[in-house]
Amino acid sequence: MRETTAPTVAAEWSVPALVEIADHDTLTAAVFHRAVDDPARPVFSTRVAGDWVDVGHGEFVDRVREVAGALLAAGVAAGDRVAILGPTGVDWAVADFAALAIGAVVVPIYPTASAEQVRHVLADATPSVVFVVERARDVVLDLVDDLKRVWTLGERPEGTADPALFEQRRAAVRADDVATIVYTSGTTGTPKGCVLTHRNILHAAVNVVRLLPELFLAEGASTLLFLPLAHVYGRVVQFGCAWAGTRTGLVGDAAELVGQLPVFRPSFLVGVPYVLEKIRKAVRQRPGFADVEAELVAYGAAVRAGVDLPAPTGPAVDGLTALLGGRLRHMICGGASLDTSTLDFFTGVGLEVIGAYGLTETTSTVTMSAPTANRLGAVGRPVPGTTVAVAEDGEILVRGPHVSPGYWPDATGAPDWVHTGDLGALDADGYLRITGRRKEIIVTSGGKNVAPAPLEDRLRLHPLVSNCMVVGEGRSYVTALISVDPAVAEKWTGDVEAALQEAVDAANELVSRAESIRRFHVITGDFTIARGHLTPSLRLRRAAVEADFAAEIASLYAAERPA
């Protein structure tokens, strides 16, 4: 996120905000108000003994008050950091709302983060309290000096405070107060803490809700939230649904989503392309599906093209509708590109895929499609309250009230423009198309940002490895191309393949499982300047490497995704 006061803009499109955020508006206000006006109305749903159980606003706020009272009793002051490490669930949401209600700053940590990543976040953010899921407690205890600071998610915390103090602290929170610090991998791979305020998140969440009333505000609207709450995308969905009063089922493991669709029966989903791919793969296991898949894809393509074809019918189609829950009509899909055949397949079964685009520094929100404004190949138009521009060199620029004031601990205010590092084009109607990435961050089909540099740097430390390149953009998992030093290999006494696997395993210790290298291929020869694979300064020309080794890369993804 670079600041510049006078970019050279080739195209620009602005959309006025549908909702302006007032100074006294906060992320917790709507839930507290509804707890008084409509306490039985569900805010979240959770599974208890295999069944879905609704948590009403009144019950939820009571739990929030209890945890907030314990935080106050522990001396947590306004602006103090409170870290949360755990899967998406009601316990996570309670800790989140409790900390925010008293003006603390929430620092989410991925439940799949490596020990090194957890260590970095804790050392950088210095939280006063760390909420942690039980299975990760030992990892955190090894990294925290004061064990009293480590609280288990879901357990009743000790201590309480005067309710009047709680109300005083809650009333003092303002829209421009810092709400959260979200750690995201930069181009160097070193996690940086992106600061977001209550205004940033609320502006993004509320304007998306108002843009898409067919999803969030429809009678009986409900969704399954399976995105990690450690990611800003999941948090924006959480707060948007809470503001709208949308019944939200919380799923701690995305792998459970497909099985819960026919049980919970959501009306819409918010996710990433990998989820749609996973659902499609699950459907393929159903008897008789193979006969109708091509028909559904063809029908979906015809719908998009405006061609009149009869809709596919039969037991396989009925079974697919039942698998999706029978009510699912929309899915907001961001984070990576979506294969056209998958888009056509879901269009064929009546699910409208709504494209979106964003990044952490813009609170996961830049552009959004809508049921009445959805164009193939585009990621929508600017979300209300957002200005999107394209510089002369093709880089996408963004500004608006949802733009981060900077990185922890040096946040000084939002820049005039956020330079996204992505390349794109705006058409005459304001629709944005992504044409490339200037930055080297890889975005998997699951929406996970992967910084290749740390993995590549660690791999190149092995004596056998001459060079390597991590691959995974738009793919369901990460792989690598590796070139071997022939002189070293000639003298190597052990198994070369096994040694390379050990090198990969060592590199994977730096990252979470979602970022880890699952497969690798040893190329013939090496990456060189002469072959067009390296710049004169010996930086990888990634596009050229991917083009020249397309067949080798395809072989790494020929089988099903590794477990």
- Over the stretch 233-282, which tens digit does the pLDDT of each residue have? 999 999 999 999 999 999 998 889 989 999 999 999 998 887 887 788 77
Q: Which domain holds residue 541?
A: 451-556
Residue 188's pLDDT is what? Answer: 47
Assigned domain for 482 exists: yes
* Maximum average pLDDT range among 28-42, 124-138, 188-202, 314-328: 28-42
Which has the minimum average pLDDT: 43-52, 210-219, 347-356, 433-442?
433-442
Examine residue 329 and state whether it is found in any structural domain, yes or no.
Answer: no
Q: Give the global pTM.
A: 0.84
Whether residue 11 lies inside any domain: the answer is no
Chosen domain end from 227, 256, 285? 256
CA distance 430 to 42: 37
Confirm whether 51 is domain-assigned: yes
Q: Tell me: the pLDDT tens digits for 281-324? A: 777 667 777 778 888 989 998 988 888 888 888 888 888 888 89
Q: Can you give the pLDDT at residue 283?
A: 77
Q: In the structure, what pLDDT confidence band is assigned to residue 4 with cuts at 50, 70 and 90? A: very low
Residue 525 lies in a domain: yes
pLDDT interval class at 505 (50, 70, 90): very high
Say which CATH number the domain at 107 has. 3.40.50.12780
Q: Report the percentage of the chain scoring pLDDT > 70.
A: 94
What tens digit of pLDDT does each residue of 85-123 get?
999 999 999 999 999 999 999 999 988 788 888 899 999
Mean pLDDT of the chain: 90
Whether the predicted pLDDT of 6 surpasses 90 = no
Spatial contact of 316 and 301, defined as CB atoms under 8 Å apart: no
Instruction: Write the CA distances from 335 to 197, 490, 502, 553, integer angstroms.
Output: 22, 43, 31, 21
Which of 97, 95, 84, 90 is closest to 52 using CA atoms?
A: 90
Q: What is the DSSP string of 164-175?
A: HHHHHHHHH--T
Task: Classify residue 67: in a domain, yes or no.
Answer: yes
- How many structural domains comprise the chain? 2
Asked if residue 418 has pLDDT above 80, the reply is yes
Residue 510 lies in a domain: yes
Q: How confident is the model at residue 478 (pLDDT cuts 50, 70, 90)?
A: very high
C-alpha pair distances (Å), 278 with each of 201, 284, 379: 29, 10, 21
Q: Which of 490, 479, 386, 485 is CA-nearest to residue 430? A: 386
- Among 206, 234, 256, identify where a domain stops: 256
- CA distance to 224, 237, 326, 563, per residue, from 256 (Å): 11, 19, 18, 14
Of the listed ranges 35-44, 166-175, 347-356, the least confidently predicted one is 347-356
Q: Is residue 19 part of a domain?
A: no
Q: Is the dihedral of CA 176, 70, 84, 259 positive or negative?
A: negative
314-322 own/partner pairs: CB under 8 Å, 24+ apart: 315/288, 316/286, 316/288, 316/289, 316/291, 316/292, 317/292, 317/349, 319/286, 319/288, 319/289, 320/283, 320/286, 320/289, 320/292, 320/296, 320/349, 321/349, 321/350, 322/262
pLDDT tier at 561, thresholds 50, 70, 90? low
CATH number at residue 510: 3.30.300.30
